[in-house]
Amino acid sequence: MRRSEIGNRQSPIGNSRVLVTGGGGYVGSHVVLALLDAGIATVVLDNFEQGYLDAIAPDAEIVSGDIRNADDVARVFERGPFAAVLHFAGLANVPHSFADPEKCYAANLTGGLNLLAAARRGGVKAFVFSSSAAVYGPPERTPIPEDHPLRPISPYGFTKAAFERVLSDFGAAYGIRSVSLRYFNAAGADPAGRAGERHNPETHIIPIVLQHLRGKRPCIKVFGTDYPTPDGSCIRDYVHVSDLAEAHVLALKALAAGAETASLNLGLGHGYSVREVIATAERATGLKAKVMEEGRREGDPPVLVADSSRAKSVLGWVPRHDSLEAIIADGWRWESQHGQERMA
């Protein structure tokens, strides 16, 4: 869709534009696609440390800048006014957050606060935040509802929980309403092949399995085979990245219609073990994986499954790609079409 056509579509939030930070990243780039598909004009701010310029849909306006730098943030708000901010920029890697907490806190808290302060000065009243199931820490019960205690065990999870609290305080004091979306395991790729998963280094199980099946990794390491789960490997709730993206558009619509500040889980409500992920990818591709059993990875709870009923009732969110097969099929198509480019 060209920019001129976006202008002609009926945007669900009126004529104004939205600001997306971190729109060159995995979830951010899919959200930019969903916003443009919905007719919402979008400005992206990204420092391109982890994001990719060519991951951003051509119809978005792009500003290169860093949320840790207040001048960069002020510069982007000169392009406002913005009806809303959708905030993805930050550090999302749990092991890195242990190794370099200063960097994690600077990006996720200092950067977040710079952004929120500028949003307040710029008259923004709606904010959508990319949060995480990492806010919960080891679950006491599963599926996990939003009122489960927040006991994050990584600096990353702590920054997500802390920024949710910052948002809630800004809501009470300054009237900025927000929706924090707590993703479980984002996976897959845009079904039309316009975007996909690109982390460097890659640490996530589904792209690792697919890269192995493409011959780019000698084996798949299964971290932990003695968990109290039916096959001994960890169970996660994998949710299609395009369904996550859709939830952000719904959150914007809900805020525009007056919704109150909320934190909402996004998952499918059923989990798959690491071994089931590998078996499903083998079936989808007709290829056989070489698996090595390793010790447990630090900080991995045995089971993480979302209770997403609140997102369904508050947003009307209905995931369209409700199976691991569909998620893996889209990831495989992306990997097959773009894997070589990324290796170059």
Interface with ligand UDP (CB under 6 A), residue from 204, 270, 310, 342: 204
Residues 6+ apart with CB under 8 A from 72: 45, 47, 65, 66
Question: Minimal distance in Å, beta carbon 28 to ligand UDP?
Answer: 17
- Check residue 142 for interaction with ligand UDP (CB under 6 A): no
Segment contacting ligand UDP (CB under 6 A): 2-10, 203-211, 254-262, 283-291?
Answer: 203-211
193-206 b/e (C-beta count within 10 Å ≥ 16 → b): ebbbbbeeebebbb
Residues 6+ apart with CB under 8 A from 162: 109
Question: Minimal distance in Å, beta carbon 205 to ligand UDP?
Answer: 4
**CB neighbours of residue 248 within 10 Å:** 30
Pick between residue 47 and residue 132 the one whose CB is nearest to ligand UDP. Answer: 132
* Cα-Cα-Cα-Cα dihedral sign, residues 273, 320, 126, 265: negative
Segment contacting ligand UDP (CB under 6 A): 68-76, 189-197, 218-226, 326-334?
Answer: 218-226
Question: Minimal distance in Å, beta carbon 206 to ligand UDP?
Answer: 7
Question: Minimal distance in Å, beta carbon 29 to ligand UDP?
Answer: 18
Using CB atoms, what's the residue nearest to ligand UDP? Answer: 234
Q: How far is CA 225 from CA 75, 162, 236, 272, in A?
A: 50, 33, 14, 14
- Check residue 13 for interaction with ligand UDP (CB under 6 A): no
Find the length of the chain: 344
Site for ligand UDP in 162-201 (CB under 6 A): 185
Segment contacting ligand UDP (CB under 6 A): 153-161, 217-225, 281-289, 323-331?
Answer: 217-225
Q: What angle do CA 171, 20, 181 make, to 5 degrees?
A: 55
The number of residues that bind ligand UDP (CB under 6 A) is 13
Interface with ligand UDP (CB under 6 A), residue from 55, 60, 205, 324: 205
DSSP 150: -
- Check residue 203 for interaction with ligand UDP (CB under 6 A): yes
Pick between residue 42 and residue 225 the one whose CB is nearest to ligand UDP. Answer: 225
Residues 6+ apart with CB under 8 A from 306: 133, 143, 144, 182, 184, 237, 239, 265, 266, 267, 268, 269
Pick between residue 204 and residue 342 the one whose CB is nearest to ligand UDP. Answer: 204
Question: Minimal distance in Å, beta carbon 202 to ligand UDP?
Answer: 9
Interface with ligand UDP (CB under 6 A), residue from 221, 270, 312, 338: 221
Could you identify the residue written with the tokens 């290829």? 287
Asked whether 64 and 106 are in contact (CB, 8 A), the reply is no
Pick between residue 75 and residue 199 the one whose CB is nearest to ligand UDP. Answer: 199
174 classed as catalytic: no
**Residue 182 parent element (H or E):** strand 177-183
Cα–Cα dist 278/209, whole Å:
7
Segment contacting ligand UDP (CB under 6 A): 9-17, 28-36, 80-88, 202-210?
Answer: 202-210
Cα–Cα dist 167/101, whole Å:
21
Options 156, 183, 227, 238, the catalytic residue: 156
Binding residues for ligand UDP (CB under 6 A): 185, 203-205, 208, 221-223, 234, 236, 274, 297, 300
Residue positions annotated with a catalytic role: 156
